[in-house]
Structure 1
Amino acid sequence: MTNFIKYLNIKLKDGHLYYISDETGKRELHKYNLADSSSAQVTNEVQNVKNYWFVNDHLMISTDYNGNEREQLKLAEEELELTYAPDYYHHYGTYMDGHLFYFRNHQEKSEFELCRSDLKGESGIIRSFQNPTKIISKFQDNQLLLSQDVTNIDSQLYLYDIVADEMEKLPFPEGRFKNYHSMGEDAAIFVSDFNNGYMNLYSLDKNTWAYERLTDFNWNVEHLILDGGTAYLTLNVNGYSTLYEYEIENGRLTPLEILTDGVIHSMKKEQGGLYILYSSMSEPHSFYKYDIGSGTLEKMFGNSPADTPVETAADTYVSFDALDVPYYLYKQPGENVRTVIHIHGGPESQARPEFNELYYKLYEAGYQIAVPNIRGSTGYHKFYIGLDDQLKRLDALEDIVHLRTHLIERESADPDNVFIMGRSYGGFMTLMAMTQYPDLWKGAVDIVGISHLRTLLQNTSKWRRHLRSHEYGFIGTHDDFFEATAPLENIQREMPPLRIFHSKYDVRVPFSESDQMYGRMKRKGRDVDFVAYENEGHQYMHTENIDDMNGEIVNFFNGLSREK
């Protein structure tokens, strides 16, 4: 049974700190009274609560069905369904002039429809867009700031006039854009990678669209809170969060040297305090308050400390082409240590030095765990993200092989007991590693992974297909490469045992990806087993299922490593 609660998404309202947690066995909204330290469950939904907003003194939540990501919007206190269209995804944007504005798109179509709804559930479509489109913010009255995806990484910004039904392409380069904050009629602040390949802070003249880079970090700005002329921001430094106070007018940057050994997951400010959700490789999720005036930090509530002390490290190793690849290590003492390599998903994502219950349980069982950010990961220079695109996929595989060698030579890994596992794209890399290099691994675990890039692209949502093709390759252009690298087509005579986990309502990596891999391996007589969860999507949210999977993985590795 799980020993740790997962917390997400802080917001502050009326003297309460709101958050989502899985303490009831699935994700529900809770609130913590800042005055008397009491807590209460706010929602009691049949499905998991995915997100929430405070809209004109109403509490709006989103839920989906068994993790299928087709979120529906609801006023929680009134039990009023604002959207009830189970075949559509709904992406909330903003509230303006008495109306909600959001995008929706059908699971089988590529159009994104901009919708307007009152708080009684009456809605209508304003305009359709052919590319994936998001609402960034209200800009001025009757104007929305929008972004349209150009690739899997970059977007283009537009201004949409609702009354005139006119779209204006804004004079910004294509790039990543987030954390837009208006500073009145004439100015705004935002974060982008327009100039130097890292996510930095920019100022904007809202009348001329002129923008200026305010910071020159060689790491990415992540969270941003604007409080008058002062910004509180976190910087992602090799995955670790560092917190700064930034005075916009004079450019003075002051580090706030707290909680530097892990990840700040969420952060909000009220009066003189910063409220922070934090975890590290050895510390489970907890809430902290930082008093800005006194510089003091106190833990408010959260998980109790982990029972087993964890020795951790962050380092790099040299891959085949002299590229330095960063990784985190849950380090075990001694020689010939049983070792697990875990590959994160995405691939446009990043392993972080945060608490992970599966890693902790493996560590308790005597394994050391290495978690790399192989080429293609985010969190570093933008150049690094593109190093695995399309025909460069095998370069990322070589990163994994070189990590194994590094761990044996430098970190006392037992060459006869090195395991590999991964989730989503990490599952694909796991399957590639075990089919291309079957002799290197004692066993492998694939969680909601891809077994063939071509069938993934054929079966994923139409709007997602084009974006993922920029990363993986295009059907009709890269078919030979898809076939040559597909784990499904490269099952060897001798292979390490494989355990597969997937879920029936996964819309990002369809269930068929695991089903076909399991069926092919079974027909060829390989050692494979498959666990399918009936009420999950791409991200598992029921603690019962998470506990079951974690236990199965530990038992699987233990059984193999005990074999003579």
Structure 2
Amino acid sequence: MDSTHSTLLHRLLDATTWRAFDLDVEGRILAGHDDSGTVQLVELRPGSGQHADGGTRAPLTALPGAVHGRYLIGSRRIVVSHDAGGNERAQLSLLDPDSVDEPVGEDGLTPLVHDPAYIHALVDVLADGRIAYATNRRNGVDFDLVVRDLDDGTEAVLYDGGGMVGAAAVAPDGTRALMTRPGRPALSSQVLLLGGGTVTELTDADEHARHLDPQWLPDGDAAIVTTDSGRDHLGVARLDVATGKLTWLVTDDAHDVTARLSPDGRSMLVVTDDDGASRLAVHDADGTFRREVTLPAGYLGGVADFLAVPRWSPDGTGLALSWSDPATPADVLLIDAARGRAATIATSRDQLAATLPPGLDLVGPTSHGVPTPDGETVPCFVYTPAHPSGSSVVIVHGGPEGQSVRSFSAIVQALVGEGHTVLVPNVRGSVGYGKRWYSLDDVELRLDSVADLAALHAYLPRLGLDPARAALWGGSYGGYMVLAGLAFQPELWAAGVDIVGISSLVTFLENTSPYRRAHREREYGSLERDREFLERASPLHRIGEVRAPLFVIHGANDPRVPLSEAEQVAAAVRANGVEVEMVVYDDEGHGLAKRVNRLDAYPRAVAFLGRALARS
């Protein structure tokens, strides 16, 4: 990589991001900012001052790892969630932002729920000085839903029925709660009603449907829920808690629709996923359309809900959310619900633009439908350089039930800057394109998603690209896809970059965190029933076929995909005489959360691809 491109990549990787975590009654926004290298808490305060709305920024934390938090309703205290080295064992602490003169470390926090051997995940903050959290401290495997009174420290266990706790919401009267947990089919979830020491299943555990983010209506008789029950796409429905009956409020037969209900129960922010871009609108709680939300000029992308969910103000007049698009690493927007207008409160976009070389424009994607031999069509974003070199890199998202959207990626833009055309597909198994599509890779269909990689390769000549100079890049499940492509289609790919990827579905399931095993077996297959297929679908089973050079990145503390997955595939490929470069970071978990590590790993990986894809 020459110095010009190396400098560009470092500038892209140095781009800071913002996340909107919460919004209080005084208009203060609890945000996350990673200018220190990891996401730390910053309070954006309205008034005369520095940020986009004329307010000031008060940095609050300086912890070793990434953090997030929520305001306690009616209080100036913040619940802070933090782990150690990316191990995902969240601990909960309290912080008074008014007492912070300089950003605090762990010694500046007041412990709330601490036991570093277990996970304590913040679920919700309640209006009466309580919080709800999920913890696996009972046996290290199953999660319980617990409500804690912060004034006297007493706790009540609302659910201890086993498995994982998804979203949860406590009723306005404080006596009942709604909770989601995984259903039996892959990527399904059901809604439970908790109260009076009983658990009532409001939806069927055997139904192949997602039920997401239940939110109580003020009368306590019903809730808003996002679901694809009986539909191909997600829609917004009213769930009667006495009968379990769903009444549709907002649907779109061609797109997924989700909603966030305001605290007063009068309004909803409705988000429509349109091929990886988000359309926003404000509706009444009964589903009646009010108005579209107008974004600031130049914003073309989506709500970055993988960063932080949208949060309404306590009075329901507006909400804060995180936004990302190809030119915006992640900004905080504030929506005026009455006017339907969004304003930028904290920007990464302007800062990044100011650091880029004059005349350099970040590239947005074009959308393609890639045909497959079995008659399917793979949605795919294509990022094309101004001067294509003929080489290409296919970047596969994780999950597998993830979605590639029109968001900022330093890696995509850096590869485009190198002259590579970048393809970012949503292979079968991806969400965002309906239930049928996300179900097409379940268990014995796993290798059909791998076959989508071959279809993408066959599409390269239509884009004017050299099929002999194509590489794969992916993280987590995307890393599995990289390794599977190299192992099952060795004649197609010139190189691969595997980041925290699965090399064997069998050893992954055997060695992943116990609380994740049963959850993931729904998707991949059971060790007890499907072991032969899992062996057959594992890249390690065909590792002798790999002939392309491989670059491997992993975190030593990864609780999801253990480091052993990287170590065994690197050793096996090296034993075949094939080039392998592997980097491991002792202070990382499932991915690279720290900028210093990204600045070390990603330039090396991009340079590796540059060598592998150079013209012969």
Q: Which 5+ residue runs of structure 2 have no aligned equivalent?
A: 1-9, 49-54, 97-107
Q: Which moved more, 1:434-443 or 1:283-292?
A: 283-292
Change (3 A) 1:64 1:123: farther
Deviation of residue 287 (structure 1)?
A: 3.0
Question: What code does the residue aligned with 2:121 have?
Answer: H
Q: Does 1:331 align with 2:384?
A: yes
Deviation of residue 475 (structure 1)?
A: 1.2
2:118–2:135 Cα contact (<8 Å) kept: yes
2:4 corresponding residue in structure 1: none
- From 274, 283, 304, give the equivalent of 1:237: 274
2:51 corresponding residue in structure 1: none
1:225–1:268 Cα contact (<8 Å) kept: no
2:251 corresponding residue in structure 1: 216
Quote the Cα distance in structure 2 between the aligned partners of 1:124 and 1:244. Answer: 39
Quote the Cα distance in structure 2 between the aligned partners of 1:172 and 1:489. Answer: 37
1:107–1:461 Cα contact (<8 Å) kept: no
Which of the two has greater strand per residue?
1
Q: Does 1:514 align with 2:526?
A: no
1:82–1:121 Cα contact (<8 Å) kept: no
2:300 corresponding residue in structure 1: 261
Question: What code does the residue aligned with 1:428 have?
Answer: Y
1:381 corresponding residue in structure 2: 434
2:175 corresponding residue in structure 1: 142
SS at match of 1:380: coil
Quote the Cα distance in structure 1 between the aligned partners of 2:463 and 2:42. Answer: 42
Structure 1 residue runs of 4+, over 6 Å off? none
Deviation of residue 234 (structure 1)?
A: 1.0
For residues 328-363 of structure 1, give each alpha carbon's deviation from its aligned partner in whole angstroms, at most 9, with x where no partner exists. Answer: 111124565221100100001101110011111112
2:111 corresponding residue in structure 1: 81
Change (3 A) 1:212 1:296: closer
Quote the Cα distance in structure 1 between the aligned partners of 2:598 and 2:29. Answer: 27
Q: Does 1:283 align with 2:325?
A: no
Quote the Cα distance in structure 2 between the aligned partners of 1:56 and 1:505. Answer: 37
For residues 16-41 of structure 1, give each alpha carbon's deviation from its aligned partner in whole angstroms, at most 9, with x where no partner exists. Answer: 12211211111101122222222121
- From 239, 243, 247, give the equivalent of 2:284: 247
2:85–2:587 Cα contact (<8 Å) kept: yes
Deviation of residue 494 (structure 1)?
A: 5.9
Quote the Cα distance in structure 2 between the aligned partners of 1:539 and 1:120. Answer: 37
Matches within 5 A, 1:71-110: 71-77=90-96, 79-95=109-125, 98-106=129-137, 109-110=140-141
For residues 377-416 of structure 1, give each alpha carbon's deviation from its aligned partner in whole angstroms, at most 9, with x where no partner exists. Answer: 011211111101111111111111111111x222122222
Question: What code does the residue aligned with 1:267 have?
Answer: P
2:187 corresponding residue in structure 1: 153
For residues 150-184 of structure 1, give each alpha carbon's deviation from its aligned partner in whole angstroms, at most 9, with x where no partner exists. Answer: 244112222222xx422222256743222333232
Quote the Cα distance in structure 2 between the aligned partners of 1:352 and 1:75. Answer: 34
1:54 corresponding residue in structure 2: 72
For residues 224-260 of structure 1, give each alpha carbon's deviation from its aligned partner in whole angstroms, at most 9, with x where no partner exists. Answer: 2436533221111111100112234473364335367
**Root-mean-square deviation over aligned CA pairs:** 2.5
Q: State TM-score, norm by structure 2.
A: 0.85
For residues 300-332 of structure 1, give each alpha carbon's deviation from its aligned partner in whole angstroms, at most 9, with x where no partner exists. Answer: 331225433114211211112111110111112
Identity %: 27
1:80–1:121 Cα contact (<8 Å) kept: no
Matches within 5 A, 1:58-457: 58-77=77-96, 79-95=109-125, 98-106=129-137, 109-119=140-150, 122=153, 126=157, 128-134=160-166, 136-139=168-171, 140-151=173-184, 152-161=186-195, 164-171=196-203, 174=207, 175-185=209-219, 186-218=221-253, 219-226=255-262, 228-249=265-286, 251-252=288-289, 254-258=291-295, 261-265=300-304, 266-270=309-313, 273-292=318-337, 297-303=342-348, 304=350, 305-306=352-353, 307=356, 308-309=360-361, 310-333=363-386, 337-406=390-459, 408-457=460-509
1:15–1:35 Cα contact (<8 Å) kept: no
- From 14, 26, 36, give the equivalent of 1:3: 14
Quote the Cα distance in structure 1 between the aligned partners of 2:169 and 2:337. Answer: 28
SS at match of 1:358: helix
Quote the Cα distance in structure 1 between the aligned partners of 2:419 and 2:160. Answer: 54
Change (3 A) 1:53 1:539: farther
Quote the Cα distance in structure 2 between the aligned partners of 1:436 and 1:412. Answer: 25
Aligned length: 561
2:22–2:320 Cα contact (<8 Å) kept: no
1:18 corresponding residue in structure 2: 30
Deviation of residue 487 (structure 1)?
A: 1.5
Quote the Cα distance in structure 1 between the aligned partners of 2:61 and 2:613. Answer: 44
For residues 185-228 of structure 1, give each alpha carbon's deviation from its aligned partner in whole angstroms, at most 9, with x where no partner exists. Answer: 23432221122132211123445443301122121123424365
Quote the Cα distance in structure 1 between the aligned partners of 2:347 and 2:607. Answer: 29
Deviation of residue 488 (structure 1)?
A: 1.5
Question: What code does the residue aligned with 1:6 have?
Answer: T
Q: Which 5+ residue runs of structure 1 have no aligned equivalent?
A: none
Q: Which moved more, 1:476-485 or 1:378-387?
A: 476-485
Change (3 A) 1:483 1:94: closer
Quote the Cα distance in structure 2 between the aligned partners of 1:339 and 1:552. Answer: 18
